[in-house]
Chain A
């Protein structure tokens, strides 16, 4: 796909896409168009209007959402997973999960442990490989409060002009969460299925390979494009990689026991 935009949006496009590992294409399948009409911000995909309004943060979210949708839509070259991903020294953590499972919070917190942020939303694993390709979406994180994953190690005030903030939520460019500024394609060395439940005790359970495969199937978003709906690929990845289910109620719980399983 491609994105066309008027010069006024150069800064926004740079903010949203400069951290991605995108290869140039000659004939995009779809073109997203961002421009201003009658004083309003608009986003179109072909003839379809996807957003019209005055909020740059909402436009940014809509643009990224549609970008990911286009990446998934006809993708049959591997598994597309609703997942976060991080890396350290070429080794990767895959964090699959539905919206609300805590992927964004956990992945941004892990950057304080020296991991490179790759994505909080979309991971692609090509057939017969265990290599992750992540779409570096700027995560939306809470700015303040108990669930503000970054509160204790990311100076939001200092970086205010480098983020898009709205309603106590900040969209942060991945480069600010990536201490080595690396957008690498690591192998999957650990699969972590998170579930944040406020005030719950820490539960870290090593999954059997079959349970891990079952959970992976639930995060597969391009199953309809794949032979056997990606079942054999999910089973292969589960067979190759240790998987854990993590239930936690706060970041202060994630210390020694958790550290022992991290790559």
Chain B
């Protein structure tokens, strides 16, 4: 995964926020994507302009308690988004 690439969210997804988690639904692909609280934060940072590195930096700054695994968590989450077709990398 190129950390300088920009994740592009698929705007066809409909979003529902339930407490601190998200559900996304794509009407054509009939896919529902569940996002826990962490994934929801990452999703909201995928604005079509931020690079993966910028997303990682923002999370580290905002959540210093997140520790050293932030890069891996972000990449794993973005891969999950990509596998569901929610973003393109």
Residues of A within 8 A of B (CB): 208-211, 213-214, 217, 223, 228-229, 231-232, 235, 238-239
If over half of A's interface residues share one DSSP class (helix, strand or loop), that class is named, otherwise mixed; here it is helix
Q: Please tell me which one of the listed residues A211, A231, A232 contacts residue B34 in the complex, with CB atoms under 8 A apart.
A: A211
Q: Please tell me which one of the listed residues B19, B21, B25, B36 contacts residue A231 in the complex, with CB atoms under 8 A apart.
A: B25
**Would you give 29 A-B contacts (Cβ < 8 Å), ordered by A?**
A208-B18, A208-B19, A208-B21, A208-B36, A209-B18, A209-B21, A210-B16, A210-B21, A210-B22, A210-B34, A210-B35, A210-B36, A211-B21, A213-B16, A213-B23, A214-B32, A217-B32, A223-B30, A228-B14, A228-B25, A228-B27, A229-B25, A229-B30, A231-B14, A231-B16, A231-B27, A232-B14, A235-B23, A239-B18
Number of B interface residues in the complex (CB < 8 A): 14
Complex Cα distance, B34 from A217, in Å, reads 11
Chain A residue at minimum C-beta to C-beta distance from B34: A214
The number of A-B residue pairs with CB atoms under 8 Å apart is 46
Q: A228-B25, A235-B23 are in contact. Are A213 and B18 (CB under 8 A)?
A: yes
Complex Cα distance, B6 from A173, in Å, reads 60
Interchain residue pairs A-B with the least CB separation, the first 10: A210-B21, A209-B18, A235-B16, A231-B25, A210-B18, A214-B34, A217-B32, A210-B23, A213-B23, A229-B27
Complex Cα distance, B30 from A195, in Å, reads 24
Cβ contacts under 8 Å, A229 to chain B = 25, 27, 30
Residues of B within 8 A of A (CB): 14, 16, 18-19, 21-23, 25, 27, 30, 32, 34-36
Cβ contacts under 8 Å, A210 to chain B = 16, 18-19, 21-23, 34-36
Given A210-B34, A231-B32, 15 other A-B contacts at CB below 8 A?
Answer: A208-B19, A208-B36, A209-B21, A210-B21, A210-B22, A211-B21, A213-B18, A214-B32, A214-B34, A228-B14, A231-B14, A231-B23, A232-B16, A235-B18, A235-B23
Q: Please tell me which one of the listed residues A209, A214, A223 contacts residue B19 in the complex, with CB atoms under 8 A apart.
A: A209
Q: Please tell me which one of the listed residues B18, B22, B27, B36 contacts residue A238 in the complex, with CB atoms under 8 A apart.
A: B18
Question: Chain A nearest CB: distance from B34 CB in Å?
Answer: 5
Question: Chain A nearest CB: distance from B84 CB in Å?
Answer: 12
A217 and B19 contact, CB distance less than 8 A: no
Complex Cα distance, B23 from A235, in Å, reads 8
Question: Chain B nearest CB: distance from A232 CB in Å?
Answer: 7
Complex Cα distance, B34 from A174, in Å, reads 37
Cβ contacts under 8 Å, B21 to chain A = 208-211
Complex Cα distance, B25 from A238, in Å, reads 15
Complex Cα distance, B30 from A239, in Å, reads 21
